[in-house]
Each structure stands twice: as structure tokens, then as C-alpha cells.
Structure 1
Amino acid sequence: MIFALLAGLATPVKAQSIGNAPAYIFTYFKNNGEDGLHLAYSYDGLKWNALNKDSAVLTPKVGEDKLMRDPCAIKGPDGLFHMAWTVSWKERGIGYASSPDMIHWSEQQFIPVMAHEPLAQNCWAPEIIYSKADNNYMIYWATTIPGRFPETDQKGEKNHRIYYVTTRDFKIYTKALLLYEPGFNVIDATIQQDGNRYVMFLKNETKKPVTEKNIRVAFSKYLTKGYSKASEPITGKYWAEGPTAVKINNKWVVYFDKYTEHQYGAVESADLKNWTEISAQLKLPEGIRHGTVLAINKPELDLLIRYFNQDNK
């Protein structure tokens, strides 16, 4: 079963080649996400500078609450940046837009990914990954459907699992299916490819009877199924959420929101087994919240810096 959604997308452009000098962009939100998308950049993945004087570069326009929380952006093989985000605390859909340069954006879409589940309470932290093998994109997110997993229901608490759809054109989507059931309340999944396997970083959202609130890892040979039992926590004795991962100098770096401490943290690993805390090395814009780090080439970053850091645009 599929559902279609008409949309005004930006015209695809030819993908640019990756330059010799890599750079990184952090897409994020601040406060409750009412003002929209924020961007920061870095050359080493540790020291980050806000673009546009840390003012929003894109205003949310879809959804009842018109929020732009948890913005996830990737660059597709079509040369476009594709971005999804949380539009509301309680709606059964997500936001989507595309851009050739992260400056000029297509018309925003509301994608009703859980419209067929009348009891679904939310769609949180959507992420996008491109599957070269299947020549399509997978969008995945966390949703609570009361009574669906009664063995981990807790009174007064949501009980999320990770769901997904696939699409080739961001107009027609497959019906949402379950992606990951780890046996606990799980949110904030983010997936990266590591050789011939996929790595899912996720948050154990369990609060009762024992509080977890930590980041873990699972692995699969297949993008849409077969993820392993979640690892032990890779984060420390603090509450962490919103992981985003990127490989820098042959090491995986996982950033996360230490949301009760109002600061960001990070851990790194060369083998995805042994993790080192590097939070003290980070320098990030004040008030940064759950977002995504992605590698871009230097010409792309130079364009963003010239555009957003000039006084009169």
C-alpha cells in the first residue's frame, strides 16, 4: 500500500564532487523549535560556529503547531539536501523540504506517515538515509501506539518504537512499518552505513522502573530489518538524547543532547565497541538542541558562510 502527496520540489541539480578539504554542518533547533532551522559549521567536528548570527535560516510552515524540531538533513545522489523534522508533539506526520544549497528551500510538505494508525500519538525525530542498493530513501522516526507493546507500557508514559517508510521521489511513500523493536521504549534513532553493515544509534527512553535515558548501538546487514539487540550504554551517567553520528579521521563521533544539563556531549570510537568521552573538547553555539551533523565539501560551506554571514542579504 502506498500513499501519494503532491509537492513542489526544487529542481534536482548535479551532485558536486567532494573537495579535498572536508567540512561539517550541524542542523539544529533552539528552545521549542518555533523559529525554525539553525545552522553551524566546523572544520574539525569539535569547534562549531553558528551561521546567520545564530538566527533561524528557515521558518516552519507545516503542521498544526508549526515547529521545526530535530531537523535531520542528508545530501542525496541527486545533489539535493533532503531534510525532515518534527512538526508537533502530537501529530501523526512529519515535515519535509529539499534544497540545492541549504539556502533556498522547496515548498514544505507535511507527510502523514502514521495517518493509517488512528491511535498513534506522535511522530518524533524523523531521519533520512539513502539506500544505494534499493535506489530509494528511508525515512524513520519514533511513534507511540497505545497497547501495541503492552509488556513495556508504563502508566503515564509514552511507549515508542521506531517505524519507517521508503520513497524514491518524496511524493509517493510506502505504508509505515515497524523498523526496530528493542524490547524497551526507544526514540531518536539515527542510522549510518559502516562497510557492509548498518549502525543504528538510539536512545533508551525507559524511565520506570529503572531510569535509562542513554544512547546505545545496534547493527544489521540490512537497512530495513534485522537490527541486533541494543548494546550497553555508550554514554555516561547523565541523561542523553538526539544522537547524530559522523566519521571523522577514521573515528566515529556521536554527538548528543545532554538535555537536562543544557549542553551537548560527544563520544568517539574507532571500532564502535570501545567509546571515549570527548564532551569537554566541544565548543558549540549556546542553546543548541537535537540536530544532525553531515559532511559537506568546502565550496558548499564557503557559499553558506558568504551568504549567511554577510550583513545585508
Structure 2
Amino acid sequence: MYVVSYFTDTDEALHLAYSHDGEEFSVVNGGRPVLRGTVGTGRLRDPFIGVGPDGLFHLLATDGWTSPCIIHATSADLLTWSDQELLPVMTEVDGAHNAWAPEFFLDRGTGLYHLIWSSVVESGSTPEGRDYEHVGQDHRIWHCTTEDFSTFSAPDVFFDPGHSVIDATVRQLDDGGFLMAFKDERGTNDLATAHKDIHLTAFETPGGPYAAGTGPVTPSVVEGPSIFRRGGELVMIFDHYLEGRYGAARSKDGVDWEPVSLALPPGMRHASVLETPLPPSIPPC
């Protein structure tokens, strides 16, 4: 079973859709949000859902454009959620402007959960007066670790290729290594721009060293990659955010990718796909 979490431009809140085959997705709750932001800015963007050490679904989300915190909540059924809290992941970092597109992944070898997100850090400066929505800034991928989602390590840079990158997503592979997709955030928000596309790298240990990158593996202009396994292949979805549509690609080996067609909800923005048994609270197709 596949559950996709997303927001829309008209409703910055948690929306869900699901699929039995990883190809045809049906919306939950008639396409209406299942959860709205109640903390911080009240905006809930870039939602990501994974399973935590307690067996519950853990939601992470972006708290607006310039918040140094990320939203966290838990659920047993994907529809009823705990009180939301703000995780102050970047509040103690001098010059931290934001914390975008948070996700987490489990390192099965250590049992640690790694939270990753994108941040601009410019010591002595603030985000006031900058157009984060339309103008690219100088991001890197940051992270912290946790065993229980109650206490967290200090934040640190996770991935820095020497230029702006956002929207990292990590999948641990069967051999124990990790595959990471990320957006090259250089360029401008224009369909004729260079960059603004998805690249891949691999690593054996969280934090690197990183293998030589592969890419771009998508067209431009896209963002928000998410990777899931469907049968014997990997499928990546990505947001054509200037065109209001979604794209997808598939790969047998995580290196060579080809376009594939999926039926995804209209209006979907920055989605993440969770592979999980379908909770009984969500009706089957």
C-alpha cells in the first residue's frame, strides 16, 4: 500500500491519497485536508510521513517560509493526529533563516533516525526583506538524529556540494547503503533556466563520504523528489511547480531512469510517498 502526503497552493495543510498498486492514487477525505497547521505560522507545507520507533506515524512539515522550526505530530491511523509541536531544529544556529522540507530516515545499522531539512545560514543576517517564495537562496542540507523523537542531537550540515541544494530525500537500500535525491537549487524560476532539477548521490554512512553524483535525472524546472519501491523497481515522483503538474520516473538500479506515467491527485504540491499497510480508518478502493 502506498500513501502520498501533500499540500496544495490553495490549502497549505496535510492532504492524503492512497494506492494499492503505486500507479493509481485515490484522494482521502474527498480531497479535503485531514490536518491543518495549529502552531507557528499556521502554514503546513511539504508534509512527510514515516513510521517512528513507537510504531506510530510521524509527520514532519515546513512551518512557512522563514521559520527555524519544523512541525511534528503523530498518529495511529493517519486521520487523527496528536497535538502539533514545533521542533526548534535551527533556533540556536546563528544566521539560520529557515528549515524547509523536513524528512527522516532510519539507519537500520545504528537504530538512529536522521531528520534532514534545507536551511540558509548566513551569520549575522536575518530573512527579513527577502523574497524566499520566488528568489533562490543559498541552502544546504542539515540534519540531526534521534532515537525517540523526544530528544535530538545538535544540528549540523549533512550535505554540502558547494552550491545551493534543497529537498533531499533518502532511501536505505537492500544492501545497507543509502540513495539520496536532491534538488540543484541554482538558477532561476524560469522554464528556460539551467539547474533546478533533481540529482542523485549515494553513501554508506549518513553524513558521507558521498559518491560522485548522478544527474540530472529529471527535466527542469522541478523540486520535491520522493522515492518508493514498486515491485522490482524504484519510482521517483517530482513536482513541476511552475507548471502545476507532477512527473515521475522509474529505475531498476537507481542509476538509469526513464519516464513513467502515474495517476496522481490534481493540485498536489511537494508530495512524499509512504509504503505501509493501509490503516483501517482509510477505506479501501
TM-score normalised to the size of structure 1?
A: 0.82
What residue identity is the alignment partner of 1:275?
W
User: Does the Cα contact within 8 Å between 1:33 and 1:69 map onto a contact in 2?
Assistant: no
Aligned to 1:62: 39
TM-score normalised to the size of structure 2?
A: 0.90
Greater displacement, 227-236 / 136-145: 227-236
SS across alignment from 2:243: coil
Aligned to 2:276: 296
Q: CA deviation at 1:78?
A: 2.5
State how 1:1-313 maps to structure 2 within 5 Å.
Answer: 23-31=1-9, 33-34=11-12, 36-63=13-40, 65-146=41-122, 157-194=136-173, 195-207=175-187, 211-236=194-219, 238-278=220-260, 281-298=261-278, 300=279, 302-305=280-283
Q: CA deviation at 1:91?
A: 1.0
SS across alignment from 1:106: coil
Q: CA deviation at 1:77?
A: 4.2
Q: Give the direction of change, closer, same or farther, for the CA distance of 1:239–1:157 in structure 2 (3 Å limit).
A: closer
User: Does the Cα contact within 8 Å between 2:3 and 2:18 map onto a contact in 1?
Assistant: yes
SS across alignment from 1:53: helix
Q: Give the direction of change, closer, same or farther, for the CA distance of 1:145–1:33 in structure 2 (3 Å limit).
A: farther
User: Does the Cα contact within 8 Å between 1:80 and 1:99 map onto a contact in 2?
Assistant: yes
Aligned to 1:9: none
Distance 1:220 1:32 in 2: 37
- Deviation string, structure 1 residues 222-269 (Cα, Å, up to 9, x no partner): 123322332220002x31100000010110100010111100000100
Q: Give the direction of change, closer, same or farther, for the CA distance of 1:122–1:32 in structure 2 (3 Å limit).
A: farther
Looking at CA atoms only, which structure, 1 or 2, has the larger radius of gyration? 1
Q: CA deviation at 1:53?
A: 0.5
Aligned to 2:128: none
User: Does the Cα contact within 8 Å between 1:182 and 1:230 map onto a contact in 2?
Assistant: no
Distance 1:131 1:198 in 2: 9
Q: Percent identity among equivalent residues?
A: 34
User: Does the Cα contact within 8 Å between 1:189 and 1:243 map onto a contact in 2?
Assistant: yes
What residue identity is the alignment partner of 1:25?
V
Give the helix-richer structure, 1 or 2: 1
SS across alignment from 2:276: strand
User: Does the Cα contact within 8 Å between 1:255 and 1:264 map onto a contact in 2?
Assistant: yes
User: Does the Cα contact within 8 Å between 1:203 and 1:213 map onto a contact in 2?
Assistant: yes
Q: CA deviation at 1:144?
A: 0.6
Question: Aligned pairs, how many?
Answer: 270
User: Does the Cα contact within 8 Å between 2:53 and 2:148 map onto a contact in 1?
Assistant: no
Provide the aligned C-alpha RMSD in A. 1.8
Distance 2:182 2:11 in 1: 21
Distance 1:157 1:192 in 2: 26
